[in-house]
Amino acid sequence: EPLTVSVDGSLCNLITVGRLEREKRCDRLLDIAAELKKCGFAFHWYFVGDGPLREELEDKRDALGLGSCVTLTGYMENPCPLLARCRVLFPEYEGTPVTIDEAKTLGVPVIANDVGGVREQVGQGGICFDASTPSTIADIIVQSLSEE
């Protein structure tokens, strides 16, 4: 299936796939994106999915000045072509996300909050973090991706 959004291969491309709802805390992911931008990290973050918070998240993205580095794609029938060009980052609330298995199948590195059964699911092929502040999480992302 063809890629439906443009991807700049010179950037660190991050992706989060899931429903845009309050318990997923996608608003905090935008705070992390703001911290990444503040420290000069060259990235683009794709939020794939739809839900009741989409408009609120778009407004927050714009208020934080992240329009050039955060794309809310909406629902995608098959996010795998985009997923294959990104690193996967997960929100705070997940049980056993299918996207981790898809990412591992595609050989895509996973960066995830250590919640539920995520650490076991990620295994050796990714990074799990347990951090409380967006700036700490941004530091972990920058440090771990710089080591690759």
pLDDT tens digits along 11-34: 999 999 989 998 888 899 999 999
pLDDT at 103: 87
Prediction pTM value = 0.88
Percent of the chain with pLDDT over 90: 52
Residue 135 pLDDT class (50, 70, 90 cuts): very high
Cβ 127 vs Cβ 140: under 8 Å:
yes
Highest mean pLDDT among 61-70, 77-86, 132-141: 61-70
d(C-alpha 67, C-alpha 112), whole Å: 23
The helix (H) or strand (E) run that includes residue 140 is helix 134-146
| Nearest partner of 90 among 117, 62, 69, 54, judged by Cα | 117
Cβ 83 vs Cβ 52: under 8 Å:
no
Residue 110 pLDDT class (50, 70, 90 cuts): confident
